[in-house]
Structure 1
Amino acid sequence: MNSATVRSLLVRGMLAGLGSGVVALIVAYLLGEPRVDSAIAYEDGHAAHDHGDGPSVEVFSRTLQSTAGLATGVLFYGLALGGIAALAYCFALGRVGRFTPRATAALLSGAALVAVYVVPFLKYPANPPSVGDPDTIGQRTTLYFLMMVLSVLLAVAAVIAGRWLAPRLGNWYATVVAVLGFAVLVGIAYAFLPAVNEVPADFPATLLWQFRLAALAIQLTLWASFGLLFGHLAERLLNPKPAAATRETSQEAAAPVH
């Protein structure tokens, strides 16, 4: 793949990431923000009860955080995601099987969703405000990113192992073995990495569950939208419809019937 094609795919990946960020932003605003507001109300209520004062003063208003702040974060995240995923796509295209550009984009998006988000999420799920000790935020962040890096490396290793086993076992059994190996190694990582459980005993279980489902829905929307948008753009770039065939089709459709 030449540098011009890589550059074109990178631009399309960033555009697709920005577009998927817009869709994810809508989901985040409709599903995530109401749960954040509820968690903040819980935190302020406990602060007032424990210390006898009102809610803490915010550097940035909650309205600004839930609108411009949310939009900036999600859109920049989508833009960066699109660029990184496009470069990974350039490497994966033609190396993971004889798939069309659109199918490769869909497979890449699905695998990235699982490796980058779902696997770390199952070990260290997202928590709303007021959940977690502020003194351990550095440790919790480190553990989460460690789990994410391990998941991505194991996913890459599973793809390599599947490609190596395919001539010996066939594509189906090679894929099954690679997926099972990935799952076993992820389970071992789950067992050895320390657990984090800092949810207050009186925190509403329904709110915690709804917040985590909303976080998962945002990521699912982001990656699914990216796979569809980028797959369409990549297909048009790499497999353009011949102009001559298009003209012939148009002329045949316009020709009178005798």
Structure 2
Amino acid sequence: MVGKLLLRGMLAGIAAGLLTFAFARVAGEPHVNQAISFEEKAAAARGEAAEPELVSRETQAGLGLLTGVVVYGAALGGLFSLTFAYAYGRVGKLGPRALSAALAAAAFIALVIVPNLKYPANPPSIGDPETIGQRTGLFFLMIAISIAALVFSLKVRGRAVARFGQWNAAIVGGLVYVAIIAAVQIALPTINEVPDAFPATLLWHFRVAAIGMQLIVWTTIGLLFGWLVERSERAQQGGRAAGKSAWQ
């Protein structure tokens, strides 16, 4: 059963990667090219020599991007299917589609929205190479804290159901999650390495495109995976029904 779910999750992830690639080519890569052009002009103004291009931009924006997002989508889809396999039957009476959509929405909030509120994505020309380790570490720390806070808030919700009911317990759990995240984001250091001369509109469009790519990934996985699982269950139920009819 888990193996079949894993396969469906990876298929949904591959489909998500293909859709994300199409979106990135149209909405993301033009902004990346503009950011690289800004960086090159700034370096020329400082009298610095251009860095050698180890991989051409055409390859980066084509085959490299396609390979990256498809592998990324397949990996996420596989992990998502394992999470679904654990949660299915343990989280209320949600069907495959509802549970898949709920898990995808929770993952998008915890893994994308929350970390990016504190440490948003930056185009290539932004950031000090000497601080990349610190920035990466803080970003993944924010993800880990977000996941831990989400798990804790779900446990709080579960314990509050008996006293406050389903709806009010969900509100309590949500407030606990928001409070924890707010406190952590205030406590963690802020990193702002955006040059004063960098176009604000370009930065905004780049960050919106980055969020849009993640939105496509999680929406596709959540909806397509749930549909695949539900279709499989219906086929199995139909087969069992046909088998019983044959024996009657």
TM-score with structure 2 length normalisation?
0.94
Question: Structure 2: how far apart are the matches of 1:161 and 1:239?
Answer: 34
Aligned partner of 1:68 in structure 2 is 63
Aligned-residue offset at 1:61: 0.5
Whether 2:54 is the aligned partner of 1:59: answer: yes
Is the contact made by 1:120 and 1:144 (CA closer than 8 Å) also made in structure 2? Answer: yes
Q: TM-score, normalised by structure 1?
A: 0.90
- Greater shift, 43-52 or 193-202, is seen at 43-52
Cα distance change on mapping 1:39 and 1:84 into 2, 3 Å: same
| Residues 238 and 162 of structure 1, relative CA distance in 2, 3 Å threshold | farther
Q: Deviations over 1:141-173 (max 9, x none)?
A: 000000001001111111222122112211000
1:18 equivalent in alignment to 2:14: yes
Aligned residues: CA RMSD? 1.5
Change in Cα spacing, 1:41 to 1:244, as seen in structure 2 (3 Å) is closer
1:145 matched to 2:165: no
Question: d(CA) in 2 for partners of 1:160 and 1:237?
Answer: 31
1:80 is aligned, of 56, 75, 84, to 75
CA distance in 1, matches of 2:173, 2:203: 34
- Runs of at least 5 residues in structure 1 that lack an aligned partner in the other structure: 248-258
Question: Aligned-pair distance for 1:242?
Answer: 4.1
User: In the alignment, what sits opposite 2:120?
Assistant: 125
Runs (4+) of structure 1 exceeding 6 A deviation are 244-247
1:1-258 equivalences under 5 Å are: 5-51=1-47, 53=49, 55-240=50-235, 242-243=237-238
Partner of 1:200, secondary structure, is coil
Percent of residue pairs bearing the same amino acid type: 45
Q: Which structure has the larger Rg?
A: 1
Query: SS of the counterpart of 1:240?
Result: helix
Q: CA-to-partner distance for each residue in 1:173-229, whole Å, 9 max, x for gaps?
A: 000000010000000000110001000010000000000000010000110011111
Structure 2's unaligned 5+ residue stretches are 243-248
Residue identity in the other structure for 2:43: A
Distance 2:233 2:156 in 1: 28
CA distance in 2, matches of 1:110, 1:155: 12
Quote how far apart the aligned CAs of 1:16 are: 0.6
In structure 2, distance between residues paired with 1:128 and 1:244: 52
Amino acid at match of 1:49: A
1:28 touches 1:214 (CA, 8 Å); kept in 2?
Answer: yes
* Structure 1 partner of 2:245: none
Paired residues of 1:101 and 1:238 also in contact (CA < 8 A): no
